[in-house]
A = this chain, B = another copy of it.
Amino acid sequence: MIKLLVAGTVAYDSIETPFGKADNVLGGSALHFTNAASFFTDVGIVATVGNDFDMEGISFLKDRSVDMSGIEVDHGKTFRWEGKYGYDLNQAITLKTELNVIETFKPKVPEHYRNAEFLFLANIDPDLQLHVIDQVKKPLALVLDTMNFWIESKYDALMDVIRRVDMLVINEAELREITKEHNLVKGARKLIELGPVCIVVKRGEYGVFMMNRDEVFLAPAYPLEDVFDPTGAGDTFAGGFMGYLANVGEATTETVKQAIIMGTVMASFNVEDFSINRIKKLTMPEIKERYVALKECMKFGDINL
C-alpha cells in the first residue's frame, strides 16, 4: 500500500543554464516530486510516457519503494521540454514544448493507489486533476500545484480544483495571477476563503511563505554558492514537503512547517546538478545535516530592552 500518490508528468528535458547544458535528461513534475518524496515514504506515480521511454533510467526508484505501476506507456513519444536560464535562475525561458503522449493522457488511478492518505496533483490540466480526485477516496491531505498556462486557459476548471483541495503549493507569480492581488497575505486569504486550509507560496531563491487560518510561517531558502540548474526545484520542494507529511502521517500546522523546511532542503539539493542527478545520489544523513544547518541560519535570541 502506498502512502503518497502523485499525478503529473514524466519527461525528457533539454536544459541550458549559464553553467552548462544537458540534452534529453530525465525530468517532469511527477519524477522530480517522486525522486524527493521517496526518501520519506512509499510513493505511487500516475503519469504517462511514450514507448521511447527508457524505464531502466528510473529503476533506481524501486529501491526506494516507489510503485511505478501507475506509469502508463502510451503509443507515441514522451513529453519533451526544452528551456534555458540566464543568471537570474528564477526565470525559465521555454524554448520548445512537445506534449506528445500528454496530449491524449487520461490519468487512470490504479486500484491499489486509491486509498493513499496523501495526494499531490502536480502541474497538469485542471480537468485531469479533477479526474484524478474523482477516482480516489478522500485523502488526509489533498495538495495542488498549477501554472500560469492553466490559470490563463482553464481558469474555471482550476477554480473547481481549488475548491476541492486542502492545500495549494504554488509560486508567487501564480498566487498573484489567480487572485489578482499583489499582496501575499491578501492573496492567500482570498484562496483560503475558497476552501483550502493552507497556502504554501514558493518564492524561488527567497524561500517560502505559508499561511493558514491562524498563522503565517516564513522560511528562507538555503543559501547556496553554486546553483547549477533550477529545473524541477518546485516539484522537488513539493516532494520533500509531501513526503515528510506522509512520513509523519498528519498535516498539522506544526508538521506543515517542518515539511516546508524539508521541501526547502530537498529543493536546495536539486539545483546543485542537472536533472534528477543530485537527489538520485543523495543520502538521509546529508538531508538531516542540511535541515539542521538551515535551522541554524534562522536562529536568533530574544531582546532585553
Contact = CB atoms under 8 A, between A and B. Distances in A.
Chain A interface size, under 10 / 10 to 19 / 20 to 34 / 35 or more: 35 or more
A295 B305 contact: no
A217 interface: yes
Count identical subunits in the complex: 2
A182 B87 CA distance: 7
A221 B40 CA distance: 31
B220 A254 contact: no
Nearest to A291: B303
A99 interface: no
Interface in A259-305: 260-262, 284, 288, 291-292, 295-303, 305
29 contacts: A40-B305, A183-B224, A185-B223, A185-B224, A206-B206, A207-B207, A207-B218, A207-B220, A209-B220, A211-B223, A215-B297, A216-B297, A217-B297, A218-B220, A218-B297, A219-B300, A220-B220, A244-B303, A254-B300, A257-B299, A257-B300, A257-B301, A258-B301, A260-B300, A261-B300, A288-B303, A288-B305, A291-B303, A298-B298
